[in-house]
A and B are shown apart, each in its own frame.
Chain A
Amino acid sequence: MDSKYYIVLLALVVIITILPLSLYSGLGEDEGFFGGADGAAGEAVEETGYEPWFSSLWEPPSGEIESLLFAVQAAIGAIIIGYVLGYYQGQAKSRRRELEEHEKIAESSK
């Protein structure tokens, strides 16, 4: 696949993400929108009369801290992927360069 199609695929991902935001634009958590699906499932379970018997050992004390930790999680992943793929990209480039030089030498020695 030509790398120009990457842009198309990534744009599709962005559209998929933005579509719901524009669909329910102006509505927020207070109206019951954009909460977590697991939260909704938790409520459905509690409606049956069940009470959770164990709560988390530690909880992020605020939404800010929670988003900090989620950002750290994503950053760890992004650093690793960027490092490895960047390294591979450099390798591929130097391989190509070596090959070209070999060809040049082969031609000039004819």
Chain B
Amino acid sequence: MEGFLPWYWCVFWFVLSLPVVAYGVIQIKKVTEKHPESKPLLAVSGAFVFILSSLKLPSVTGSCSHPTGTGLGAVLFGPAIASVLGAIVLVFQAILLAHGGLTTLGANIFSMGIVGPVIAWLVYKGVKKAGMSSLLGVFLAASLADLMTYVTTAIQLSLAFPIPTFTAAFSNFIWIFAITQIPLAIAEGLLTVVIFDYIMKLRPDILENLNVIIPKVKEKVQAVV
């Protein structure tokens, strides 16, 4: 979508996105200093975004789109760090694949690297707080992050091209993006559950250190209290 946003919108989304990415870089430094054992999981989260965003899948609407993969990183490390992971992949795709674009990078980081991960993180925390299973939380977090990324893209395009009106443009773009995305979002949720559960089985200690899951013992204590 290179050059598809008027320049002032490009600037606008860059101004919103860059501080978050910068904050994410600081957060990465902090978390890898405090929990050096979490570095491999950071690599896995980034790799997960790499894989999922390279898979252009067919959808029931008859067009293709790709999942984002940012939900995992957001649940494990929080939205700011996930936005750095998203930004890396977006730069890779913009330079090497002519996919996404450099002028639209700010807008894409905002939708895929910020809105998606923030939604994932809020949904996961909310589900945990409600006392439901972390796997359900991961599923909803990853699916909704995926879906909301594309809803954001639809909003961004409707803001830039409110022709004839914002609502009319939005109903057009939302159909193109979000409806196509629904089955892919479910697929992404399922994949994220599998990898999260596997990590939880092998290294629950790291997830406990990162405050993603509550240690079993503490859970009992909390239940008593």
Contact yes or no, A16 B187, CB < 8 A? yes
- How many A-B residue pairs have C-beta atoms within 8 angstroms? Tell me: 178
- How many B residues are at the interface, by size bracket? 35 or more
Partner pick for B51 among A36, A42, A55, A81, CB 8 A cutoff: A81
Q: Which residue in chain B gives the minimum CB-CB distance to A71?
A: B54
Q: B55 contacts the other chain (Cβ, under 8 Å)?
A: yes
Contact status of A87 and B40, CB under 8 A, knowing A10-B194, A74-B54: yes
- List A contacts of B172 (CB < 8 A): 44
- List B contacts of A106 (CB < 8 A): none
Contact status of A74 and B55, CB under 8 A, knowing A42-B1, A85-B198: yes
Contact yes or no, A37 B177, CB < 8 A? yes
Give me the interface of B with A, judged by CB distance under 8 Å.
1-4, 6-7, 40-41, 43-44, 46-65, 89, 92-99, 101-103, 135, 150, 153, 157, 161, 163, 172-173, 176-177, 180-181, 183-184, 186-187, 190-191, 193-195, 197-199, 201-203
Give me the interface of A with B, judged by CB distance under 8 Å.
1, 3, 6, 9-10, 12-13, 16-17, 19-21, 23-24, 27, 32-38, 40-42, 44-45, 48, 50, 52-60, 66, 69-71, 73-74, 76-81, 84-85, 87-89, 91-92
